Amino acid sequence: MTTTNTTHGKVKGVDKLGCLQFRGIPFATPPLGTLRWQPPKPADKWDGVRDATEFGPTCPQNVGTMEAMGGVGRAAMPPMSEDCLTLNVWTPAADDARRPTMVWIHGGAFSTGSGRTPWYSGHNFARDGVVVVTVNYRLNAFGFLRFDELFDGFEGTGTLGIRDQIAALEWVRDNIANFGGDPDNLTIFGESAGGMSVGTLLASPKAKGLFTKAIPQSGAGHNSHTEQDASKIAEQFLDVVGVKAGDADALLALSAEQILEGAQGLAQTDVGRLPFQPCVGDDVVPVAPIDASRGGASKDVAVLVGTCREEWKLFSLGIREGQSLGRTHRPMQALFERAGKSADDVATVYEKKLATAERSGAAEQPSELDLRNAIETDRIFRIPAIRLAEAQVANGARTWMYRFDWPSKAMDGKLGACHALEIPFAFDNLNAPGANFFTGEGAPQDVATEMHAAWVSFARDGSPGWDAYDTERRATKLFDTPSTVADDPDGDTRVLWEGVL
């Protein structure tokens, strides 16, 4: 066992998979019981040496999309507790080498997930001289319901999960040198809600100076609620759990199970977008993250941003060909109509693109499902990533763009280059438990080697190894077999969104 110091006490880790691992280290304490829904507090100090060989519990959560796809039921999920604010460190050695450090923020629609998922094991980053930290933060109703106007004494509740992430970054700043890391060469990275969290942290004045580089994967700066929308969502939650606004005693008396039932009911209501995401209007997220980045909030941070080519195929697996999708097109139609553009004309461009795309999986005449997958991929993921890159470039920040194009062979190819597929490639963890369920058999190790090396290079030196992004060339690395760098890939559909999103 190896021990090292933290500001809260000594910890001992375990030597496993060729590196030192320190697991389940408390970085803060979430107020519990009658203090629930408050900002994180400093973790308590301890005497002696704390065992850091086991992962800490996850935030209470319902079964997420990824777990459901893998057939994981509630009983098979990791232990859960509201006392969940822990982090994990993978390092080559707990010395004074001051290695580049990366902090991973997991995804899961701000509702599910944790830093202990096998895909996120940082041992291969440690193999390549990088210290990796993965964090837990409060999720779903515990971390992202805004009660500010509904109860007294609940200010700042719409960003508690982001406050937890900031507390973790502060812990890394103060402690990572004892684990062989360099707090002055710190990269934050995350995927989906984790990527959206990275986009939020880029814009947050409370996170300024805590990191030097960022990799938002399949998430950027467009995911936040207005105060009005967030309050409506919180009111829906109160209706589900049977608590009246202002009755703080009844709210705090809810059990974790009742809160999860309320969160599940909320997820099934028509709120138009993710019910749980950061709310603007406080000191953590004063304005929408993309607007803050456009204003220069993240100009001092190097950014590597990107998406997967067919993100939405993951979310449309349960939809049958021929099933009416009219309702799912409403957000897209409204966006274009507000910008004075014809949604039908936009669909025509996408149909032509899909009909000629080598890997679209579409017939000569693309189906309505093919069209929906392409448009939702762009609306929710690709265009927001491009907008963040454009904002960075406009402010003189170092910026790179990628796209993950390799299509999964799993599920008879139905997943394509879908959402989250790039994660085991970036971590070089194709052999991690559950990865082949997503990738299928025979996932190309050379793509994982190349992508992982780019992430290591960016964390170490500030460049992933291809030309930086600008609004003329729009150079984009396409990870595939083989990988290439393309200028403005799919520019014909990109321009459709100008003035729209």
Question: What residues are annotated to the active site?
Answer: 192, 311, 419
CA distances from 206 to 138, 200, 284, 303, 368 (A): 18, 11, 6, 18, 44
HSE at residue 473, side-chain half, CA atoms within 13 A, is: 14
Identify the residue whose tokens are 């000629």: 356
Q: Report helix, strand or coil for 402.
A: strand
Residue 57: Cβ-neighbour burial (10 angstroms; 0-12, 13-18, 19+)? middle
Structure tokens at 36: 């629930």
Is 25:87 a contact under the CB 8 Å cutoff? yes
Q: What DSSP character marks residue 225?
A: B
Neighbours of 336 (CB within 10 A): 22
Cα–Cα dist 31/44, whole Å? 12
CA distances from 260 to 22, 57, 62, 247, 263 (A): 30, 16, 7, 19, 5
Cα–Cα dist 496/492, whole Å? 7
Beta-bridge partner residues of 19:
16
**In 3-state terms, the chain is what percent helix, strand and coil (to 5)?**
40, 20, 45
Identify the residue whose tokens are 């790039």: 422
Radius of gyration of the chain (CA): 22
Cα–Cα dist 37/251, whole Å? 10
Contacts of range 338-341, beta carbons closer than 8 Å, 24 or more positions apart = 338/500, 339/499, 339/500, 341/496, 341/499, 341/500
Q: What DSSP character marks residue 408?
A: B
SS3 per residue for 10-66: EEEEEEECCEEEEEEEECCECCCHHHCCCCCECCCCCCCEEECCCCCCECCCCCCHH
Cα–Cα dist 293/388, whole Å? 7
Work out whether the CA dihedral 117, 163, 297, 309 comes out positive or negative.
positive
Neighbours of 236 (CB within 10 A): 17
